[in-house]
Amino acid sequence: MTLTFLGTGTSFGVPVIGCSCRNCTSTDPRDRRTRHGAVIGLDGGNLLVDTPPELRLQLLACAIDRVDAVWYTHLHADHVHGIDDVRIFSTRGRGPVPTYVPEEMRLQLASRFPYIFDERIELARGTTRPRLALGTYTEGVACRILGIDVLPFRVPHGPEDAFGFRAGPLGYVTDAKRLPGPARDILRGVEVLVLNALWIGFPHPTHFNVEEAVEAAREIGAARTYLTHLTHRVGYRELSAWLPRGIEPAFDGLVVEVA
- Give, for all 259 residues of the chain, the pLDDT tens digit: 999 999 999 999 999 999 999 999 999 999 999 999 999 999 999 999 999 999 999 999 999 999 999 999 999 999 999 999 999 999 886 789 999 999 999 999 999 999 999 989 998 898 889 999 999 999 999 999 999 999 999 999 999 999 999 999 999 999 999 999 999 999 999 999 999 999 999 999 999 999 999 999 999 999 999 999 999 999 999 999 999 999 999 999 999 999 8
pLDDT at 95: 87
pTM of the model: 0.97
State the pLDDT at residue 220.
98
pLDDT number for residue 253: 98
The 3-class secondary structure across the chain, one letter per residue, is CEEEEEECECCCCECCCCCCCCCCCCCCHHHCECECEEEEEECCEEEEECCCCCHHHHHHHCCCCCCCEEECCCCCHHHHCCHHHHHHHHCCCCCCEEEEEEHHHHHHHHHHCHHHHCCCCCCCCCCCCCCEEEEEECCCCCEEECCEEEEEEEECECECCEEEEEECCEEECCCCCCCCHHHHHHHCCCCEEEEECCCCCCCCCCCCCHHHHHHHHHHHCCCEEEEECECCCCCHHHHHHHCCCCEEECCCCCEEECC
pLDDT one-digit tens code per residue, 21-38: 999 999 999 999 999 999
CA dihedral 68, 72, 76, 79 (to 10 degrees): -40
Q: What is the pLDDT of residue 126?
A: 86
Q: What local confidence, expressed as pLDDT, does residue 193 receive?
A: 98
Structural domains of the chain, ranges and CATH numbers in brackets: 2-257 (3.60.15.10)
